[in-house]
Structure 1
Amino acid sequence: MSSTHEVLNQAPPRVDLDEYSTNPALTEAVARHGAGWAAGHLAEVGSLVGQADFQRDAELANTHPPVFAGHDRWGNRVDAVDFHPAYHRISAAAVAHGAHTSCWSEPRPGAHVARAAVFMLFAQVEPGHACPVSMTHAVVPSLRATPELADEWLPRVLSRDYDPELRDPATKSSAVFGMAMTEKQGGSDVRANTTRAVDAGDGTWRLTGHKWFCSAPQSDAFLVLAQTAAGLSCFLVPRVLPGGDRNVFRIQRLKDKLGNRSNASSEIELADTVGRLVGEEGRGVRAIIEMVGQTRLDCVLGSAAGMRQAVAEAAWHTRHRSAFGAPLIDQPAMTAVVADLQLEAEAATWTALRVAAAYDSEDAESVAFRRLATPVAKYWVCKRGPHHAYEALECLGGNGYTEAFPLARRYREQPVMAVWEGSGNVIALDVLRAMAREPETVAAVDREVASALGQHRAFDAHVQATRALIGRVQADPGSAPQQARRVVEALALALQGAVLIREAPAAVADAFVSARLGADRSLEYGALDPGLDLRAIAARA
């Protein structure tokens, strides 16, 4: 080879690592929140997703996105979505390891935390498949509200088998679920939906209308919102009817998206489509409310997983590349950037698993805490993801901006978590709604935050200011929407600070309070107080 093409000073591929055991924030949070019993399984998953062939599958699933085929070669309507085999290999592995429903099929203390960690490990490397995995997880509480549907579908939903073929449900041992809620004219305002459902008199309903976003249209069944005489109602719509006939489920097209390329998102039409009522007629929002909480938490988990991928790739590159006579990671400016990126990832990870732990208990305190903490975390962590991905990408220089490295894909992926399951204003207004209608939720979060008072002056001042802001909003509900985002941001930072002060290493907690709550905090990554232990934080990346 010509000497001009000798490859020097390039980082080796970041492959064949245990992505669990090399992530101290995740391992520590799992142990702290009662899921230490899952460490062996999580290390197994971490080694799997760290393998070079798994990462190659992640690349293939995104560079060869799903393709819609409306008709077969003879002209029969099939409404099929074809995926690269790599997508199915990844999905099969995630299901086999319980990323979807292990907390429901094997309940025990810490089960939701363990499942959250498995979900994060898979989503760290390939996030697109996590959409149907998340929806399959989230439908369980909704199905349980209707015993006859639960008896029929839950055994398949809880299965560790993966079978992507669409056929008679009675012949399948497993099932994956999707959702079809939003319409052109309403978006997040689902009460504006125009899809109609008429009682067929035989225990089923007939649905007619459109859905502007239908996630994972290849799924076995969907939860769909439609209007009845009693109001907005929820229905289970299978792709294939008992006996093997196809239900009317007309895919109009697949969305051409910024990111999330491996996952199919579609527009669909329903025309006398068979569905079965979930919950009570006219109580569709109630039927899906618990599901929404679960999927919003998964958005937090997905964003935190993306942050882990971003900072891990940045740290790997800077440890293996030198400039101006020293490894990049040892140069103070870069040390500060990597430490700050790790700080953000730690705050997201610790907060995500603290909220997941609240789903492991049904006591009044846990229920109240998670009702408010879930949307607060969803708003803040998901919004922090895109800029975090950009800053990590920049650490790789020109390499980071190319599609040959994973951070370009991650940069395009992170915004979707903030849009899914309610974009910023929808989530912020939901926080206000919970505060007004369920004041016990505010008290529960305040008790969580108060548990860390007395150790950092800046944190104590932030909590005092947050309490005052909440008081003003509660005293003047009419002006509350104008301050919704301020309230949620303040609550999120207070919650993250409290969790880190109580649980994380002192170097991490001290840096978070200084960098995110201190009087001289900066708007950009890497502008940290040099008196902090930045090397110790960067070493955790």
Structure 2
Amino acid sequence: MPELTHEVFNQPEPLVDTNLFETNRALRDALRFNAPDLDMAPLQALGALAGSGDMQAHARLANTHTPELRTHDRFGRRIDEVEFHPSYHALMSAAVQAGLHGTPWAGGTSAHVLRAAGFMLFTELEPSILCPISMTYAVTPALRSNAGVFRDWAPKLTSRGYDPRLVPFARKSGVTMGMGMTEKQGGSDVRANTTRAEPRGSDDWGPRYAVTGHKWFFSAPMCDAFLVLAQTASGLSCLFLPRVLPDGSRNAILIQRLKDKLGNKANASSEVEFHEATAWLVGEEGRGVPQILEMGTMTRLDCALGTSGLMRQALSLAMNHTQQRMAFGKRLVEQPLMRNVLADLAIESEAATALALRLARAFDRRGDAHEAAMARLLTPIAKFWICKRGSHFAQEAMECLGGNGYVEEGGEGIMARIYREMPLNSIWEGAGNIMALDLLRALRKADAAAALAQELAPAKGAHPALDRLAASLPTRVEAMATEMEARRLAQDVALAVQAALLHQTAPAAVFDAFCASRIAGDWGQAFGTLSSRTDFDTILQRAQPH
């Protein structure tokens, strides 16, 4: 008997085997602006890999066959291991080989910008496995505060070899690192932590401690070592805690359960207990919070990069669908209202890309006073604003696909995975209020206003609404007696910086539409409400995913 009573037609072909780098004009232009001497060949190769059908299959399988906790072996011995599908390891291997973890700390021209662009491209393929990749990036420089650990571990943290075996680090070609900061009672208020660390002498890695307590979020438990916070005699301290001790024995880390999360399914996040686990001090005893804040700066960069990558992926899927799907006698992309929605999404995506890569440039030039100031300012606004826009963006992009976007199967099922992933970067590593307050503290420093003015200067006179906004920002900081309007300030600083960057990296059509809508107020309360005077043709042509 025939399987169908009808012919299947008007169903778009999936977006597959496309070079994600070559088709991303906004990313390429932002790279030319931030790192004009950068060798683009590695990104060309990564773009082809990340857009390939084979790697997309790995992404689907890693999210379908999620991590499983094995607390005991069949003989009843405690093992505390997390089992992953082979596709997870294929993705991790690709990310490590691309140098998206600790590699930039080994040096190189515009190494952080190169890594940032690669991180965005890989996010389009599969974001959740990038959690341990991001933490390895953030933790590596912090280990300099323990000379012995850094001497032994740094070469393997910057290695491009992925080795998932649970064996002593000396036998591995490469290692990854995670973090354990928050506890049940404190969350972001890590000073409320109760986990304690008792001195146990000293060795080649410095002061050694026995750690007892718990972590409510311990990511990712299969990493080779972790930086954790614990209370010592001098206060909250930062400690290096490996899974396997140098003598080959397993450390006393008991995995209680894996988190059942909304998204981020391929990544294992856990709750753990420490039973006199062995750890070594990193930095000064009692100075754990400043140590963690330094790492937080880098993971917050990755939150902005990751959301920017997800925006681009969602936009590409929406464009791919609407270019092929027919409705009411036209392709969807030819329908006026759909053109407005897609152009609005394209503007948002490009602005996010421009801001995230500009922040990465600041990491490459930390010795420059202006760049150091901009790293302090741009980190909270990029994390706050880009990540805040992500969920709304994903919902609108999903709507472009209709019901096909809401299902969990096939090429367009990727959109549902994006939607579930989007809230994560806004919550993780400091939610919106923390970022807005961080920006307020940064802006109140003496050199902040001058640094921001210098950053906005190239766009002075380009649009009257931007000029008015830029002129108002210093006065608003001075007049803000309470924290009540800190979120609005973070939003407006982000918009001003994004506009200034688009003026330097994007066509006039993109810059003008961004300023008219986001700053001048010629916009509605949802995507797809751009003015009819917008140059839709130029914006949509620029955003093509093919």
TM category (shorter chain) comes to: over 0.9
- Map of 1:485 onto structure 2: 487
1:151-203 residue CA offsets vs partner (Å, 9 max, x unmatched): 01101100000011111111112110000000011100111111111110133
1:517 to 503, 516, 519: 519
2:339 to 326, 335, 340: 335
Matches within 5 A, 1:31-50: 31-34=32-35, 36-50=37-51
CA distance in 2, matches of 1:43, 1:36: 15
Gaps of 5+ in 2: none
Shift of 1:124: 1.3
- Map of 2:169 onto structure 1: 169
CA distance in 2, matches of 1:18, 1:152: 38
Q: Is the 8 A contact 2:384 2:426 kept in 1?
A: yes
Shift of 1:410: 0.4
Q: Is the 8 A contact 2:99 2:115 kept in 1?
A: yes
Report the CA distance shift for 1:2/1:91 in structure 2 as closer, same or farther (over 3 A).
Answer: closer
- Map of 1:212 onto structure 2: 216
Shift of 1:484: 1.2
CA distance in 1, matches of 2:506, 2:318: 22
Q: Is the 8 A contact 2:182 2:193 kept in 1?
A: yes
**Letter of the 1:403 counterpart:** E
**Letter of the 1:540 counterpart:** R
Most deviating of 337-346 and 519-528: 519-528
SS at match of 2:71: strand
Q: Is the 8 A contact 1:372 1:442 kept in 2?
A: no
Matches within 5 A, 1:267-282: 267-282=271-286
- Map of 2:77 onto structure 1: 76
1:370 aligns with 2:375: yes
**Letter of the 1:390 counterpart:** Q
- Map of 2:28 onto structure 1: 27
Shift of 1:466: 2.7
CA distance in 2, matches of 1:515, 1:181: 40
1:529 to 523, 528, 531: 531
1:301 to 302, 305, 315: 305
Matches within 5 A, 1:90-489: 90-108=91-109, 110-202=110-202, 203-361=207-365, 362-404=367-409, 405-436=413-444, 438-473=445-480, 476=481, 479=482, 481-489=483-491
CA distance in 1, matches of 2:41, 2:503: 27
Shift of 1:403: 0.6
CA distance in 2, matches of 1:194, 1:130: 29
- Alignment: residue pair count: 534
Shift of 1:140: 1.7
Report the CA distance shift for 1:535/1:250 in structure 2 as closer, same or farther (over 3 A).
Answer: same
Most deviating of 511-520 and 390-399: 511-520
CA distance in 1, matches of 2:65, 2:74: 22
Gaps of 5+ in 1: none
Shift of 1:89: 0.2
Report the CA distance shift for 1:112/1:247 in structure 2 as closer, same or farther (over 3 A).
Answer: same
**Letter of the 1:224 counterpart:** V
- Map of 2:542 onto structure 1: 540
Report the CA distance shift for 1:17/1:36 in structure 2 as closer, same or farther (over 3 A).
Answer: farther
CA distance in 1, matches of 2:450, 2:88: 44
Shift of 1:146: 2.1
**Letter of the 1:520 counterpart:** D
SS at match of 1:226: strand
| TM-score relative to the length of structure 2 | 0.96
Q: Is the 8 A contact 2:449 2:474 kept in 1?
A: no
1:457-493 residue CA offsets vs partner (Å, 9 max, x unmatched): 11112223333322211xx2xx1x1111111111111
Q: Is the 8 A contact 1:35 1:111 kept in 2?
A: no
SS at match of 1:414: helix
1:61-118 residue CA offsets vs partner (Å, 9 max, x unmatched): 111110111101110001111111111100100101111123212322x211110011
**Cα-Cα RMSD:** 1.2
**Letter of the 1:462 counterpart:** L
1:116-139 residue CA offsets vs partner (Å, 9 max, x unmatched): 011111111100011100000111
CA distance in 1, matches of 2:183, 2:384: 23
Most deviating of 295-304 and 161-170: 161-170
CA distance in 2, matches of 1:35, 1:174: 31
CA distance in 2, matches of 1:3, 1:285: 63
CA distance in 2, matches of 1:19, 1:357: 21
Shift of 1:502: 2.1
SS at match of 2:309: helix
Report the CA distance shift for 1:513/1:302 in structure 2 as closer, same or farther (over 3 A).
Answer: same
